[in-house]
Amino acid sequence: KNQVEQSPQSLIILEGKNCTLQCNYTVSPFSNLRWYKQDTGRGPVSLTIMTFSENTKSNGRYTATLDADTKQSSLHITASQLSDSASYICVVRGNQGGKLIFGQGTELSVKP
């Protein structure tokens, strides 16, 4: 079982609508959690990074939340744009200086 599970696998929404992507993890001990956006054919780009003491972090229209007790994170996208169409990847670091554990990603498609 993957230590970082994302849902849904894929999502289609209309331009202007909001959406929320989920990430559940079992990695322990936990150091930090990041959300990346990966456009097709490009490398991932960091959106947010949160430590266990942070509950929420925003980056423009992207807002990430973290509940370290339930080991859940969400990425909320407000007023979606066509350029938001991408894969969104949740990544957890389990211990200081160690490797990152990647979720399988959620493929978001924003339609006009």
CB 92 within 8 A of CB 48: no
CB of 85 to other proteins, least distance (A): 17
H or E segment at 24? strand 19-25
Binding mask 72-91 for other proteins (x = CB under 8 A): -----------------x--
53 burial (CB, 10 Å; 0-12 / 13-18 / 19+) is: exposed
The tokens 């670091």 sit on which residue?
93
60 binds other proteins (CB under 8 A): no
CB of 94 to other proteins, least distance (A): 11
49 binds other proteins (CB under 8 A): yes
CB 35 within 8 A of CB 81: no
CB of 40 to other proteins, least distance (A): 11
Residues forming the site for other proteins (CB under 8 A): 31-32, 34, 42-46, 49, 51, 89, 93, 96-105
